[in-house]
Amino acid sequence: MRAPIAARAGRRSNASWRWPMSGRQGEEGAGQCAGRVTLVGAGPGDPDLLTLKALRALEAADVVLYDSLVTAEVLALARRGAPRICVGKRAGRPSCRQDDINALMGRLARDGKHVVRLKSGDPSVFGRSAEEMESLKAAGIAVTVIPGITTASAMAAGAGVSLTRRGAAQSVRFITAHGAKGGLPDDLDWAGLSHSATSLIVYMGARTSAALARRLIAAGRAPSTPVLVATNVSRPDETRCAGILGDLAEGRLAMDPASPVILAIGEAFAASDAVGTQEGVPAPQAQAIGRT
């Protein structure tokens, strides 16, 4: 187990320049503290996919609280001397409690620090940004959000597909397949998810992928529906595995539950490039399973 995260904050380092936002010491409004928090989207892993605004926030950070899935290459872009504290959550592993993360952000901000809360992908997509913003605002701490490239977009770019391919997809739905009890969420809209003209993107679904596929088929989605499984998207060790929903239901598509996995289900992925490349990333290893 990690030590209590509040004990790992370390000393404040002097920033070479400050993030140019109102509300620092001497400027804050009534009831607000001198410090502030910026929720920053780190993207799927490739540091070249960071936004300029995210980079500037990292360069101005007094302290960085980062998720487990943030890559070392992205973390290295933070201001030299700024403490880096892992507050990650991983299924089946010892993780920081959300209440502890909220409390640590608040304490550091009240000490006058510019806290960068660095989240994998985009903070607003299954990133618990709402809970963190609500906690900070309730404490009178200024908070802003810098969006990042979500893994679904990077996956589509690397595989050479469009999430909304004309004639194949009229909508895109993002879901998590990891519920509060560890299995599939209890309240998924199976009828809507099974619509043939929907591109379905599944986050955190490695451990429940077979059960998810069986429920989709039972709700009417064709077993021949194309599926793309991508692991470590945009990173040098990215892998892709192509197949069909029936393969997924029977556990025949390779994936590593210990790595970040995203599933793409729908007719838009029929033309996916399971062994395609993207600039700066080697051709991923892949297991291509043909449709039947």
Token pair 């194949």 in the structure block, residue: 168
Helices (H), 76-199: 98-110, 129-138, 151-159, 190-193
Start-to-end CA distance of the chain, whole Å, equals 46
Question: d(Cα 166, Cα 291) in Å, to the nearest integer?
Answer: 21
Which residues neighbour 52 within 8 Å (Cβ) at sequence distance 6 or greater? none
Question: d(Cα 168, Cα 197) in Å, to the nearest integer?
Answer: 6
Instruction: Please pick, among 53, 89, 100, 111, the residue that the annotation labels catalytic.
Output: 89
Please say whether the dihedral angle defined by the alpha carbons of residues 102, 103, 106 and 107, taken in this order, is positive or negative.
negative
Is 53 known to be catalytic? no
Is 67 known to be catalytic? yes
154 by DSSP, 3-state: which?
helix
Question: d(Cα 91, Cα 82) in Å, to the nearest integer?
Answer: 28
H/E stretch holding 173 reads strand 171-176
Cα angle at 76 between 67 and 16, to 5 degrees? 110
Contact assessment for residue 254 and residue 131, using Cβ atoms and an 8 Å cutoff: no
Q: Which two tokens stand for residue 157?
A: 């770019």
Instruction: Please pick, among 46, 62, 67, 273, the residue that the annotation labels catalytic.
Output: 67
Return the active site residues.
Answer: 67, 89
